Structure 1
Amino acid sequence: MVRRLSESTVSSLTSHWVKRIAGSTKPAYLLIPDLIEEALSDGQLRARDRLPPLRDLADALRLNYTTVARGYSEARKRGLIETRAGSGTYVRGRAPAMPLRAGTGAEMTMNMPPEPPAMAARLRESMAALLGAADPYKLLRYQDFGGTPADRSVATRWLRRCVPACAPETVLIAPGIHSVLVALLSQLSRPGQTICVDALAYPGIKAIAAQFNVQLQALPGDEDGPFAHAFEAMCKAQKPAALYCNPTIQNPSTRTMPQVRREQLADVALRYSVPIIEDDAYGMLPLRAPDAFATLAPELTYYVTGMSKCLGAGLRIAFLHAPTARQAQRLAGTLRATTVMASPVNTLLATAWIQDGTADDLLRAIRAESAARQQIARAVLDGLAYEADAEGFHLWLPLPAGCEWSPSELALHLRSQGIAAVSAAAFSTDGNPPDAIRVCLGGPGDREETEDSLRIVHETLDNPHHLHSAML
C-alpha cells in the first residue's frame, strides 16, 4: 500500500536535509541518496512511501531542478527508489528483509550477540523451570514500574561491575535501552537544544533526536573519542543539553575510549554542569574496561546498560542508574508514560539468570564465540584494514583506497548476495560519513556461515566489476 507523506513529515525531512547539505562538502546530488538511505535506517521513510515531485523537492532544498534530478537518478541506481510514469517517485527501500536467523541470509546489520550452541540446552531447561514454577497470572498482571525492590537489588549487583557506587534506589528496570534513551532525551532536552555526540553514533539516538527536534552536534575527535577542548568550546558557546556517548566497544567504530579521554570529558562536564548520557550497551563484554563516566562524574551521569547487546537481542531488559534517587523517580514517571512497564517474563529471566549464574556463564560463552569469529575475520579479511575489539562481535570496515564501491552501493550489493551490512551513512552525525561499512559477526548462525559471509565481502571488494551488475 502506497503511503503519501504528510506535510509535517516532508517539512521535517527537508529542513533536516537542508542543514545536512549546507554543512557537507559532498556534492548535493551524491548526498541526496545518502539522506534517503539514512531516513530509511531511521524509520522516517518506509518502502512504498511517495516522495515529493522533483520541483517541489528542489524548492524545499533550495537546489536547482537538475541537481535534484541527478540525486534521484543516483538513488535509483542504488535501488533505493523507483519512478513510475504518470504516478510519481516511490521508495523501494532495501532489498527484501532477510530472516534474522537461519534461512539463506546472513543478517549482519542488527548488532546482536552470537548464540553459543553449547548454551542452548541449559537456557531451554532454565526457561522451562522458571516459567513452570511461576504464577502465570502474576506474569500477566501489571507490575511495579522500574522493577520490584528485589529485582532492583539484583540489577544493582549486576551494575556494580561497572558502577561500583550504584544503589537500588537509583536503579530502574526498563524494557530496553532505546526506551530509556527516549525518556532521557525528553527529560533532559527541549526542542531546538543541542546534544553533543561523536561523529559516528548509534542510529537510534539520531532517530530519537529527530523525533524531539533536538539537534545533534558532532564533536571533532580522534581514535580516542571526541576532543575535550571541542566539548568545552561547545559548552562555552551554547550550553548543550547533554553529552551522549557510547564509550565501550563503540557502535560502530568498535573503539573503547581510554581512561584519560574519559577523565578529560568528565572534567569539562563537571565544570559546566552538563549531564552525561552513558550508553554502555556493550559494557559487560570486556573483562576489563576504563572507569565508567558514572564513576568519574557521578552527580551528572545517567548510566544505561542492558541484556540485549550482551546476552540476547530478544531479552529486552535495560538497567538505568540515575545520579540520585530523586532523578530516578522523575525518570520513572517519564518511562511509565512511554512504556508502561518492562515485560514480566523478561524481568523474571534476567533476575533469575543473574542470581543463579546463568547470565555469567552465557556472557563467558558469548565472549569465547565472539573471539572465535574475530579469529575467522582476521584470517578471511587478511590484507584489509579494519577495526574490531577482541571481545566484541562487530567490525568496522573502511573501504580500501581506490575502491569503486560507495558504502551504500556495497551494502546494497551485499544484500543482493544474501549478506546484510550497514553503510556509514546510518551512523554519521556530521553529514560527512566515512567510506566504511559495519558488519556484525553475531548474526550468522554458526562459524561456517560467518566464514562464508566474510569471504563474499572480501571477494566483492576485490571484484569491482560487480558494481554495475543487476541487483534483484
Structure 2
Amino acid sequence: MSQLKTIQDEDAPGWLPRLAVHGGPRFLQIADALQAAVAEGTLQPGDRLPPQRRLAARLRVDLTTITRAYDEARRRNLLEGRGARGTYVAAPKAELTAVLDLSMNTPPPPDGVDFDDLLQQGLAQVLMRADNALLMTYHLGGGSEADRKAGAAWLAPMFGQVDASQLVVCPGAQAAIAALILALTAPGDVILAEPATYPGLRAAATQFGRRIVAVDADRHGMLPAALEEACRRHQPGLVYLNPTLQNPTAVTMPERRRKELAGVARRCKVRIVEDDPYWLLADSPPAPIAALAPEQVVYISTLSKCLTPGLRVAFVLIRDPGERERFLVALRSFALMAAPLTAALATQWIRDGSAGRLLEGVCKEARLRHRMARDVLAGRYSGLGDGLHVWLALPAYWNSAQLARAADSEGIAVTPAEAFASGGASVNAIRISLGSIPDRGRLQAGLQRLSQLLARRPESFGGAGV
C-alpha cells in the first residue's frame, strides 16, 4: 500500500491521500499517490479520474494544486486527457528503443507547461477566428499579413520595431537557407563559413553545386582578417554565420567581433546570411549582426529550435525588395509555402503570449539540463549554461568518430565533429544535445554512461577499430 494514508469517506476513491503538513508540496503528494496507486493496481489503465474541481473540494486544496498535480502525473506518463470526456489513467508506454539520443538539437519539454493544452487551445482559437477554407488552400505571398506581423513581434527582442513587409514566412530555417543559396549565388560560387558549421548548409550547398570554404575561427568565432582575405581570394557569393550559441561549438560571438565582421562585409560588398535560431535561448546575447549592418545581412529566426520542431515556421528578414522577390521565387521552386494551419498556430501563440510562456519554460529547462551536464561531466563540461547543446572536447586517446561508434555500442547517440566539418583544421570533439531526451532521469543516465565511456580507452572496446 501507499505510505500515504487515504481518506475514508465512503464514496472516496481509495487512492486519495491524506495530505501531510510536512510532506512536501501538496501537488507532489497527490502525484506520488497517483503513481503508487497505478503501481499497486488500485488504479488501472482507462480508469477515469475525478474532475479537478471535485477533487480540489474533497482534498480541501485550491484548483491550482490539483492542476499542477495532474500536470506532474502527465509528465510521468501516468495520465492522459481526453478533452471533454475527462482525464484517464494512461496505458503503459512501450519503450520502442533503448537508445539514449544525445544527437538531435530539439527544445526540451518545459516543466510546468501543459503542451497538450497549449496545442488544443491554440488550434481552437485558430479554427474559431480563421476562415477554415483559407487554411486549406494555397498561399503565395510568403505568409499572410497577420503572420508577418507576428514575425515582427517575435523579432522585436532582437531588433526593436521591425517592418513586417520586409519579412518572409518560410517552412523552417533549412528551406530558408536553401532558397537563399539559390537566390543569391550561382552554380560554382563559394560560400564562406566557419570550420565547424551547421550540416544543413553543407547539404544544401552540395545539392546546388556551390562550394563551402572554411574561414579560420577562434574562441570568439570567425576571424575578421581571415574573412577579408577569403573574400579577396574567393569572391564568395555568401558568408554564412551562426553567431549566437553557434552550432556546434556553442560559442556566442561578442559584440566587438560582430561589428568587425560587419565592417568586412561592407568593405568587400558580400552578403551575410545570419542564421540565428538560438538568440532567444541565450543569456543576454549581443545584438544580431543584422542590426549592425542591415544593408549587408539577411536574418533567419526559426521557431523550431526554441519552441517545438513541429512548428515548421521561420521568419526571414530581407530588407532589399529585389532580393526579397528573388528569394520568394527560389523558395516557391521547392517549398511553395509554410503550411497555413501551422503558420496560423504560430501566429496565435505569438499574439496570445503562449509562445512567450513556452519559450520561458524551454529556457528554464535548458539551463537546468546544463547544470546537470556540468555536474555529471565535471571537468569535461565547457558550456556557458544556456542553449540546447554542449561541444565536448575529447581526451587525446579518443577521436570523435571512435567515440561516436563506442557510444552507439553502449546505446548512446552523439554527433561527432566530422558531421560539422566544412574544411580547415580538424577538431576532436562531439556535440551533446541536451533537449532530445524528454525525461530528465534518462538524460542523466545517458550523460553518466557517456562520462564513464570517456574515462575508458578505445582498447577496452577491441582497439582502434571500434
Q: TM-score range by the shorter chain?
A: 0.7 to 0.9
Partners of 1:427 and 1:237 in 2: CA distance: 23
1:162–1:291 CA contact under 8 A, matched in 2:
yes
1:320 paired with 2:313, answer no
Answer whether contact 1:460 1:466 (CA < 8 A) is retained. Answer: no
SS of the residue 2:106 aligns to = coil
- Which of 133, 144, 147 is the equivalent residue of 1:148? 144
Aligned to 1:430: 423
Cα distance in 2 between the residues matched to 1:421 and 1:181: 25
Deviation at 1:103, TM superposition (A): 4.2
Distance in 2, matches of 1:355 and 1:165, equals 16
Instruction: Give me the whole-angstrom Cα distance separating, in 2, the residues matched to 1:381 and 1:461.
Output: 9
Equivalent residue number for residue 197 of structure 2 = 201
Q: Please say if residues 172 and 319 of structure 1, whose CA atoms lie closer than 8 Å, have aligned partners that are also in contact.
A: yes
Shift of 1:417: 2.1
| 1:104 and 2:95 aligned | no
Residue 135 of structure 1 deviates from its aligned partner by 4.5
Tell me whether 1:187 sits opposite 2:183 in the alignment. yes
1:347 equivalent in alignment to 2:343: yes
Distance 1:151 1:136, change over 3 A: same
Is residue 2:454 matched to residue 1:458?
A: no
SS in 2 for 1:233: helix
Task: Check the 8 A contact 1:281/1:309 in 2, yes or no.
Answer: yes
| Mapping of residues 85-124 of structure 1, within 5 Å | 103-119=97-113, 120-124=115-119
Looking at structure 1, the residues matched to 238 and 119 of structure 2 have their Cα atoms a distance apart, in angstroms, of 42
Distance in 2 separating the partners of 1:141 and 1:128:
17
Question: Hey, what's the Cα distance between the residues in 1 that align with 2:403 and 2:339?
Answer: 38
Q: 2-side partners of 1:413 and 1:270: how far apart?
A: 46
AA aligned opposite 1:334: A
Amino acid at match of 1:435: N
Candidates 397, 400, 416, aligned match of 2:395: 400
What stretches of structure 1 of length at least 5 have no aligned partner?
1-100
In 2: Cα distance, 1:397 partner to 1:236 partner: 34
Question: Hey, what's the Cα distance between the residues in 1 that align with 2:216 and 2:194?
Answer: 7
Alpha-carbon distance in structure 1 between the residues aligned to 2:394 and 2:199: 20
Contact 1:192 1:215 survives alignment (8 Å): yes
- Which of 360, 383, 402 is the equivalent residue of 1:388? 383
The answer to whether the 8 Å contact 2:126/2:348 transfers is no
The alignment partner of 2:322 has SS state of helix
Task: Give the deviation of 1:279 after TM superposition.
Answer: 0.3
Q: What is the Cα deviation at residue 234 of structure 1? A: 1.7
- Match 1:241 to one of 237, 245, 255: 237
Matched with 2:124 is: 129
Match of 2:409 in 1: 416
Q: Distance in 2 between matches of 1:129 and 1:287?
A: 33
Offset at residue 264 of structure 1 (A):
0.5
For residue 304 of structure 1, give the secondary structure of its aligned residue in structure 2: strand
Write the letter of the residue equivalent to 1:375.
R
On the 8 A contact 1:413/1:471 being kept in 2, the answer is no
Residue-by-residue CA offset, 1:97-123 (whole Å, 9 max, x unaligned) = xxxx97432222111110114222432
Q: For 1:416 and 1:364, how far apart are their aligned partners in 2? A: 36
Alpha-carbon distance in structure 2 between the residues aligned to 1:135 and 1:104: 44
Q: Once the 2 structures are TM-superposed, how far is the Cα of residue 189 of structure 1 from its aligned partner? A: 1.4
**Secondary structure of the structure 1 residue equivalent to 2:280:** coil
Once the two structures are superposed, the pairs formed by residues 212-291 of structure 1 within 5 Å of their partners are 212-291=208-287
Task: Return the letter of the residue paired with 1:328.
Answer: R
Aligned residue type for 1:294: A
Summarize the Cα distance change of 1:264–1:394 in structure 2 as closer, same or farther, 3 Å threshold: same
| Counterpart-to-counterpart distance in 2, 1:463 and 1:282 | 33
Aligned pairs for 1:327-346 (under 5 A) are: 327-346=323-342
**TM-align CA RMSD:** 2.1
Unaligned runs of 5+ in 2: 1-94
Return the TM-score normalized by structure 2: 0.76
What's the secondary structure of 1:284's corresponding residue?
helix
CA distance in 1, matches of 2:288, 2:119: 34
Residue 365 of structure 1 corresponds to 361
Give every structure 1 segment of 4 or more consecutive aligned residues whose post-TM-superposition deviation is greater than 4 Å.
469-472
Q: Is the 8 A contact 1:145 1:340 kept in 2?
A: no
TM-score (structure 1 length as normaliser): 0.75
Residue of structure 2 in register with 1:14 after alignment: none
Q: For residues 440-470 of structure 1, give each alpha carbon's deviation from its aligned partner in whole angstroms, at most 9, with x where no partner exists.
A: 0001122111110000101111122443289
2:111–2:361: 8 Å Cα contact kept in structure 1? Answer: no
Distance in structure 1 (CA, Å) of the matches to 2:401 and 2:283: 35
How far did 1:207 drift? 0.8
> For 1:116-171, what per-residue CA distance to the aligned partner results, in whole angstroms no more than 9, with x for missing partners?
14222432432452355255433221124311112111111111221235311110
Q: Give the match for residue 468 of structure 1.
A: 462
Inter-partner Cα distance in structure 2 for 1:124 and 1:192: 44
Matching residue's letter, 1:367: C
